[in-house]
Structure formats: structure tokens, C-alpha cells
């Protein structure tokens, strides 16, 4: 099975040797890949819609994994009992919906060791929720796939370090490791802001001036993030010399 770069990144952050549950499984590619390649012992593939679940069932059968991958119709974590999965994967959903799934399924979520999350929107909001609810982002990946950028988080239970706004916006782990894909993204965003700002600042309209202030604030955080990454690069180079 050939996975997209995004799905391969998600799979790479799943700890090996456990049982996984895939929320919003769609075609079932993640659980099939993980079980087929021996990363997961077994899997539960769940989706709120019967159509995607039927397609997933066809693919599971095609790969001869029906005895190791169970399919369930489920709204979020509703059909998963506490202790049934060591790792829960939630991807392809908006950030607010992802947060809602974790809140509504708190009893089940509390019994899960690891979460691999890839929100499609409001990523800062997801980071804030995790930090404020005793989840720890252990590692993040930032990937460009088919012209779009995706964030993937490996999350465990445990108190997080106090967060800076720039960490919520761009991911502390990514900044501290000077992730090159994030670096490219930040430079593109900086250039976009710098192109927009002169025209916005000359407008007499209050709405446009308000937008200018928003762009100035975004540009300030982008520059801060780039400074953190430059410092991280220098520290890494210094360590390599000794």
C-alpha cells in the first residue's frame, strides 16, 4: 500500500506494538498500513458515516486483515470503550470538532496512552486545548503534501510546559528543532504579509486599518518564530562542533 506523505507522517508517529483506533477512518488506509506492516497488533477503524466505513471494509478484506481490523460506526469515540486502544488516531477533521471529540469522549480518552492528531483547521486552538487539559505534545511534524501544509501531533497525557503565543501558533517542538518545512512556510507567510501591509496602511477605511493591525501582529509573530528557529539552528551547529 502506498500512502500519501501526510498519511505516512501520521503512521510514523504511532508507537509500535499496540492496538490502535482510527477515528474518521475514511478508506481505512491508516489502520491497514499499520497492521500490515506490524506497527499495530490490531486496529479498530471507526467512522460516523456508513459510506466510508463500507469502503474501508472492502479495503480491509482486500488485504486479508478482517481478523485483525474491526470496523465500527461511531460518532467520535462513542463506540470505543476505555482500554480497547493504546493509541487513537484522529485526522482529517477540523480542530474544533477534534476538541469536541476529546471532550465528549473524556472517559475513554483518559485510558488511551497516545494520540496522533492532525487537525485541518484552528491548529493553535487544538494546541491550547491540549495544554490546558493536561495533554503533552511530545513531537510534531509539519509536512507539505500535494501543495498543502499539514500538522501532525504525537500527544501523551501529562503536564505541558507553559506556552508562548508563538508556540501555540506554530508548535514548540517544530520551532525548537528548526523544522525546515515550517521554515519555508514561515518565509512564505512573511513575504505575503510584507506585500499586503503597505497597501493596507494607506487606506482611510477603518475596516482596512483594522486588517492592517492584524497583519502587523501576524508579521510580528512570524519574525519571532524565525528568530527562535535561527537560534535553534545556531545551537545545533555549535553542538556539532564539540
Q: Kindly state whether residue 170 falls inside one of the protein's structural domains.
A: no
Q: What is the number of structural domains in the chain? A: 2
159 and 134 Cβ atoms separated by less than 8 Å = yes
Mean pLDDT score, 175-186: 97
Note the pLDDT of residue 132: 94
Contact 64, 70 (CB under 8 A): no
Looking at the structure, do residues 86 and 205 belong to the same domain, yes or no?
no
User: Does 229 map to a domain?
Assistant: yes
C-beta of residue 71 within 8 angstroms of C-beta of residue 60:
yes
> In terms of domains, do 152 and 199 share one?
no
With 90 as the cut, is the pLDDT of residue 98 above it? yes
Q: What angle do CA 48, 129, 175 make, to 5 degrees?
A: 110
**Same domain for 57 and 146?**
yes
Q: Both 235 and 187 in a single domain?
A: yes
Q: Which domain holds residue 38?
A: 5-159
Assess if residue 172 is contained within a domain.
no
Query: Does residue 11 share a domain with residue 122?
Result: yes
In 10 A of CB 17, how many CB atoms?
11
From residue 20, alpha-carbon distances to 38, 61, 118 in Å are 12, 18, 15
Note whether 99 and 136 are same-domain residues: yes
One domain for residues 152 and 184: no
Is 117 within a domain? yes
Residues 155 and 236 in one domain: no
Note the pLDDT tens digit of each residue in 119-136: 999 999 999 999 999 999
Residue finishing a domain among 159, 188, 206:
159
Same domain (yes/no): 123, 22:
yes
| C-alpha dihedral, 56 to 61 to 67 to 69, nearest 10° | -20
> Which pLDDT value is given to residue 219?
97
**Domain CATH number, residue 98:** 3.40.50.150
Domain boundary residue, one of 110, 125, 159: 159
* Domain-located, residue 174: no
One domain for residues 153 and 55: yes
Assess whether 196 and 88 both reside in one domain.
no
Only one residue has cell 483506533, namely 21
The SS3 call for residue 8 is helix
Given CA atoms 195, 200, 203, 208 in this order, what sign does their dihedral have? positive
The reply to whether the predicted model has a pTM over 0.75 is yes
Cα distance between residue 123 and residue 151, in whole Å: 8
69-73 and 148-157 strand pairing: unpaired
3-state secondary structure 86-102: CEEEEECCCHHHHHHHH
Report the first-to-last Cα separation within the chain, whole angstroms: 43
Facing residues of 11 across strands? none
Please report whether residue 124 resides in a domain: yes
In a domain, residue 118? The reply is yes
Q: For 202-234, what is each residue's pLDDT tens digit?
A: 888 889 989 999 999 999 999 999 999 999 999
32 and 108 housed in the same domain? yes
**pLDDT tens readout for residues 123-172:** 999 999 999 999 999 999 999 999 999 999 999 999 887 778 999 999 99
What phi and psi values does residue 49 have, to the nearest 5 degrees? -115, 140
Amino acid at each position: 500500500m502506498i500512502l500519501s506523505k501526510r498519511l505516512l507522517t501520521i503512521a510514523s508517529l504511532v508507537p509500535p506494538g499496540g492496538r490502535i483506533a482510527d477515528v474518521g477512518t475514511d478508506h481505512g488506509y491508516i489502520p491497514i498500513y499499520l497492521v500490515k506492516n506490524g506497527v499495530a497488533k490490531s486496529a479498530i477503524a471507526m467512522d460516523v458515516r456508513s459510506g466510508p466505513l463500507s469502503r474501508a471494509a472492502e479495503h480491509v478484506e482486500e488485504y486479508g486483515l478482517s481478523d485483525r481490523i474491526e470496523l465500527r460506526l461511531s460518532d467520535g469515540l462513542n463506540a470505543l470503550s476505555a482500554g480497547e486502544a493504546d493509541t487513537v488516531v484522529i485526522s482529517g477533521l477540523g480542530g474544533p470538532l477534534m476538541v469536541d471529540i476529546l471532550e465528549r469522549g473524556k472517559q475513554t480518552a483518559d485510558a488511551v496512552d497516545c494520540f496522533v492528531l492532525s487537525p485541518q483547521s484552528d491548529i493553535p486552538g487544538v494546541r491550547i486545548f491540549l495544554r490546558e487539559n493536561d495533554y503533552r505534545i511530545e513531537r510534531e511534524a509539519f509536512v507539505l503534501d500535494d501543495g498543502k501544509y499539514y500538522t501532525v501531533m504525537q500527544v501523551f497525557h501529562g503536564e505541558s510546559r507553559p506556552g508562548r503565543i508563538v508556540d501555540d501558533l506554530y508548535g514548540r517542538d517544530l520551532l525548537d528543532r528548526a523544522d525546515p518545512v515550517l521554515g519555508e512556510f514561515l518565509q512564505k507567510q512573511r513575504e505575503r504579509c510584507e506585500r499586503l501591509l503597505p497597501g493596507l496602511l494607506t487606506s482611510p477605511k477603518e475596516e482596512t486599518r483594522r486588517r492592517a493591525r492584524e497583519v502587523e501582529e501576524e508579521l510580528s509573530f512570524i519574525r519571532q518564530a524565525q528568530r527562535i528557529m535561527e537560534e535553534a539552528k545556531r545551537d545545533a551547529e555549535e553542538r556539532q562542533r564539540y
